[in-house]
A and B are shown apart, each in its own frame.
Chain A
Amino acid sequence: MLLRKFSAPKTFYPLAGKLMPWFFWTFAVLGAVGLYWGLVLAPVDAVQGQAYRIMYVHVPSAWMSMMIYTSMTAAAIAALIWRTKVAELWLLCSPALGASFTFITLVTGSLWGKPMWGAYWVWDARLTSELVLLFIYFAILAMKSAIPDRRKAARVMAMITVVGFVNIPIIKFSVDWWTTLHQGDSIFRKGGPSIAPSMLIPLFMTALSFTSYYFWLVLKRIRTMIEKTENERKTA
């Protein structure tokens, strides 16, 4: 019952308005502290030198690119089965942010790959599936801009999102499937993290900061869209 209450745009609108500042300040404060810690305070890596500092933007972006897609899939299922309006709005507002983080992941990964492997790009399973994820985001965005009707666009996007979701585990576990140039998971693996806590804590800070950034902007976009729908209804 509670869920149904919050899933109505009318109740969601003020709730989003209340949550937005929290997300903004979490993003700003953790981002600033995490970056200062990661870029200035954290020690130089013994093997990778300064270049490892790309991690503080690359790894959170990669997490976000997958987290946003996962949240979109949940929204897509809700939009397809229950036609939940807020889920549709969530789906309409998310892919641009997801594509942005995927793009950041690819660019920063390339910039990290050059000093580490000597090449900006390798057709390794993980890089390739991240690229494919970007293409899927583009396809979803292309569908969105092709369909003027918002609710229909949302359901078409939902369909593509769910089918494309098969791609997410391929990204996450491709390291295990293919043995390639790409370094293996160094954070979530058996026996705990392999990087020092002084390097790890700022990473979690920037990751939380990016997550808050996403929630902040997706809520802002949803609010804008609800306002627009209201205006259209009044003028119509």
Chain B
Amino acid sequence: MNNGGFTIRRYFFFCLRVLFRQRRDVALPLFFFLLVSSLFPLAFANHAVPLLAPAALWITTLLSVLLSLGNLFREDAEDGFMEQLMTAKQPLPLLVAAKMLAHWVAYILPMFICLPLIGLWYAMPPDTLSVLTLSLLLGTPTLLVLGGLAAALAAGLKQGGTLLILITLPLATPILLFGLTMVDMAQNGLSYAAARDFLAAMAVVSGGIGPMVIAASLRIGLD
């Protein structure tokens, strides 16, 4: 790896392999996701569950994604691998994009696989569940980019995990609200196209410029 002669695709699979080797750590945010998801229907009065389910699930996902991002760059920063990446031939934004993609596959994809089960817990009608899944699919890339930005800035710091949450949550509010608008409109039989397109546009924009911003933030954060 350290001769710089690796491709972006190989780096992506390398990241995945590393994450798979640490699968116990990777399972923790998923466990958190399931745990909190089960607490909501338990804590709500039964009749309130269908009403509050989308909001509860969105907030749970938001927190789980942030939890998973806590160690996105930390290990690479600590063992000096990040410095090698920064001086590699490949542009850092592309490497960051590969790493984020691997992160999405390892941490967030399993949450989507669990969604039908959670839909069962919340007694969610299939229509609502599918719109909710779509809203999360469109929303999580932007969440990941915002959280990745905060993770990059807080990479070298002691309380990095807490700071990451403090920075990301206010910035992520619009994503949460548009995701919920989408589900809300669908539940009321309205067209949710506007909110969906907005989320999709945010995902495209953050996917496009996010890696560059995160790469720049890494250079600042690990300075």
Contacts and interface: CB of A to CB of B under 8 A. Distances in A.
Interface of A: 80, 128, 132, 135-136, 138-139, 142-143, 146-147, 152, 155-156, 159-160, 163-164, 167, 170
Nearest to B168: A139
A146 B163 contact: yes
A156 B220 contact: yes
A125 B149 CA distance: 26
B159 A139 contact: no
B220 A142 contact: no
Contact of B166 (A142, A155, A156): A142
B217 A159 contact: yes
What are the 3 closest A-B residue pairs judged by CB atoms, nearest first?
A135-B170, A139-B167, A155-B220
Given A160-B150, A160-B153, A163-B146, 15 more contacts: A132-B170, A132-B173, A135-B170, A136-B171, A143-B154, A146-B159, A147-B157, A152-B220, A156-B153, A156-B217, A156-B220, A159-B217, A163-B213, A167-B171, A170-B174
Given A142-B166, A146-B159, A146-B163, A159 B220 contact: yes
Interface residues of B, number: 22
A132 B167 CA distance: 11
6 contacts: A135-B166, A138-B166, A146-B154, A156-B220, A163-B213, A167-B170
A152 B220 CA distance: 7
B79 interface: no
B216 interface: yes
A142 B153 CA distance: 12
A139 B170 contact: yes
B169 interface: yes
Contacts of B221: 156
A57 B110 CA distance: 51
Contacts of B216: 80, 159
Given A132-B173, A135-B170, A136-B171, A146 B157 contact: yes
Contacts of A146: 154, 157-159, 163
Contacts of A156: 153, 217, 220-221
B149 A159 contact: yes
B169 A135 contact: yes
Contacts of A143: 153-154, 163, 167
Interface in B140-156: 146, 149-150, 153-154
B157 A160 contact: no
A142 B163 contact: yes
Interface string B77-118: 000000000000000000000000000000000000000000
B177 to A, nearest CB: 9
Nearest to A136: B170
A163 B216 CA distance: 13
Interface string B160-199: 0001001101110110000000000000000000000000
Contacts of B166: 135, 138-139, 142
A109 B69 CA distance: 36
A143 B149 CA distance: 13
Contact of B153 (A136, A138, A159): A159
A222 to B, nearest CB: 22
A53 B133 CA distance: 48
A170 B173 CA distance: 12
